[in-house]
Amino acid sequence: MNAPAPTSSLTEEDQLFRLLRQLDLTPEASQRVIAGALGISLGRLNALLRGAAAAGLVSITERAGPDRRQRFTYAITTRGAGEKNRLTDRFLARKFAEFDALHAELTGSTSGLVPLNTRSHFMQNNLAPIPELYVSYDSAQKLKVEAGNLTSHDLTPRQICDLELLMNGGFNPLKGFLSEADYDSVVETMRLTDGTLWPMPITLDVTEKFADTIEIGQDIALRDQEGVILATMTVTDKWVPNKAREAEKVFGADDSAHPAVNYLHNTAGAVYLGGPITGIQQPIHYDFRGRRDTPNEMRSRFRKLGWRKVVAFQTRNPLHRAHQELTFRAARESQANLLIHPVVGMTKPGDVDHFTRVRCYEAVLDKYPQSTTTMSLLNLAMRMAGPREAVWHGLIRKNHGCTHFIVGRDHAGPGKNSAGEDFYGPYDAQDLFREHQEEMGIEMVDFKHMVYVQERAQYEAMDEIEDKDNITILNISGTELRRRLQEGLEIPDWFSFPEVVEELRKTKPPRSQQGFTVFFTGFSGSGKSTIANALMVKLMEMGGRPVTLLDGDIVRKNLSSELGFSKEHRDLNIRRIGYVASEITKNGGIAICAPIAPYATTRRAVREEIEQFGAFIEVHVATSLEECERRDRKGLYKLAREGKIKEFTGISDPYDVPQNPELSVDTEGQEVDNCAHQVILKLESMGLIAGA
């Protein structure tokens, strides 16, 4: 048996690293076994254990039993697991530097494995494993018990996506949620404070109430929405961000028409927490489990298949024939294999749900040569940040082992801003990616605009066609595709695959068969409930779909009886109405809502929730405040004027007038039946009900 290597020359830091690693691997071993594995004396081991315990890195408990050699049991604490991850990075960086120096001495050239200017170059080999933030299984079981006594934060869906990619290495080199200094640097310069390229702030946003309970240096447990502990975090930073500045720098404008800016101001918590995380277990996915791969699993698959060059295709939409031709060309031009890598986390509101999209991807996958193409799902929460997002996507795909990445026109663009103009230029994303691709270590493949040439019965790149005036060019836009699906019109075979169209038609039947929500909003006494009741009767008379009325007063009585009339409670009441309406819409029914709903941001949130499943028709009952106060059938305005009702909409609390409702009606001088008929005509024009 070989004698252990002498370690007297090791630094204190290296000895601590080896100790924590050994305890993580063999938590039940005796002191003698641990000392032997580390190559140190029992006396030195005891000194290391005492120091680690005093620093809160290791817990030591007595063990009952006759064997005096195993009197104690050891467990890495939450803090110890985080310290082990930090020391692992430092140890690896030093060893790579030593290897590179030796390589240079022997060969006269660098190995290519050492960080050059930034840590983005840390792992040049796209098939080598990358660091993860998980502890071993045995340590995870013990950490779960310890974490059960910690203050807990229940993660939002977006935070769960971020945490998963932090833990599995998808966000490498990040070791946790950004510190305040790193956040400021990323927002301003797209780099961490150490110079590493990283374009997107990855932050843990929490409420002020929760933040007030947290002290710097405190460990917290991070739980999913079912209460399962996924990780722990040592809070090193707590601050109130300048969200307007973040919006300007990261998304290009502080404009709430941008979905991520709207999320930033109206959904995200007011306080950010930063600090390293220790992964205990990955989030649980019950859907498409065989299609989900961590970066290291993806790299392992590439090694097994012998793929040395891999081009990744990012998508959040169904694939049609043009996409297949595009990806074929990209792989051929790069002389690479193809990874179809769709996002199934959080995309743009209104996108096709990921269940339908994955079924479409699987149908298209059969059209590719099996030996050249594979598919994996990415649980990413997109920000729709255009140029920055393209660089971010490139870094994530580099971590997954890809060498090339397809970047399209207006990559990850959110659409139009408040002025009706595109947020980003069509080639801004490609320009920024090209500027940084050498540093990232992943090469960009330009997205070609593919069109169908009828005479040649094939797809060609638009900018490569020289005889445009002599041929027939066919193309169907996304808007036109949605119209054809909604109206049950033909979708030609040259555009998409029959299997894809079949899946889309399952989810998107003709509009006259879909569920939808009519959402009335206006002042108290404006006539919302009266019109809603008349509309309900007319729709029930037509038949075909169940109709449910969610009137403000009825909901208050049956669904929100415990709520008051503060802004927080009014928002919660509207969100409850929106949730019920979304379920009705999803199941093919008609929901009619008639609350006051004074706040535009809340109405927008309800719209986004419902439009995942069907149409949302906002009807502004634009009766003037003076007319509503003149009617005052319930005497509420009189009480509000006397100060007996606080926070009354229109008197002591504001009403955000809808800017672009689908319909605006004024009940002054109009019969209720006529107002309801206007709504019916609007529904007919939108194809939601059959014309008379």
Among the listed residues 18, 158, 299, 316, the single catalytic one is 316
Helix (H) or strand (E) holding 407: strand 404-407
Among the listed residues 7, 73, 151, 315, the single catalytic one is 315
524 in a labelled binding site: yes
315 is catalytic: yes
Strand blocks (E) in 106-190: 151-154, 176-177
278's tokens: 């220790």
685 in a labelled binding site: no
d(CA 604, CA 106): 64
Least Cα distance to 424 among 262, 416, 201, 393 occurs for 416
d(CA 94, CA 113): 11
Query: Mutual orientation of helices 31-38 and 12-25 as an angle, nearest 10°?
Result: 130
C-alpha separations of 129 from 295, 296, 398, 399, 401 in Å? 8, 6, 12, 9, 9
177 and 160 in contact (C-beta within 8 Å)? no
Q: Per DSSP, what are the bridge partners of residue 134? A: 279
d(CA 233, CA 85): 12
d(CA 148, CA 394): 37
418 in a labelled binding site: no
156 is catalytic: no
Among the listed residues 73, 317, 372, 548, the single catalytic one is 317
586's tokens: 């999803």
Contacts 24+ apart (CB under 8 A), 42-51: 44/15, 45/19, 48/15, 48/16, 48/19, 49/19, 49/74, 51/16
The residues, ordered by sequence, that sit 6+ positions from 226 with a Cβ below 8 Å of its Cβ are none
Residue 292 has what DSSP assignment?
B
d(CA 397, CA 394): 5
523 in a labelled binding site: yes
317 is catalytic: yes
The residues, ordered by sequence, that sit 6+ positions from 42 with a Cβ below 8 Å of its Cβ are 31, 32, 35
39 and 24 in contact (C-beta within 8 Å)? no
C-alpha separations of 635 from 5, 565, 647 in Å? 88, 17, 15
Least Cα distance to 203 among 234, 242, 163, 169 occurs for 163
Residue 513 has what DSSP assignment?
G
328 in a labelled binding site: no
582 in a labelled binding site: no
Which segments are annotated as binding site for ATP? 522-529
Residues serving a catalytic function are 315-317
Q: Which residues are annotated as a binding site?
A: 522-529
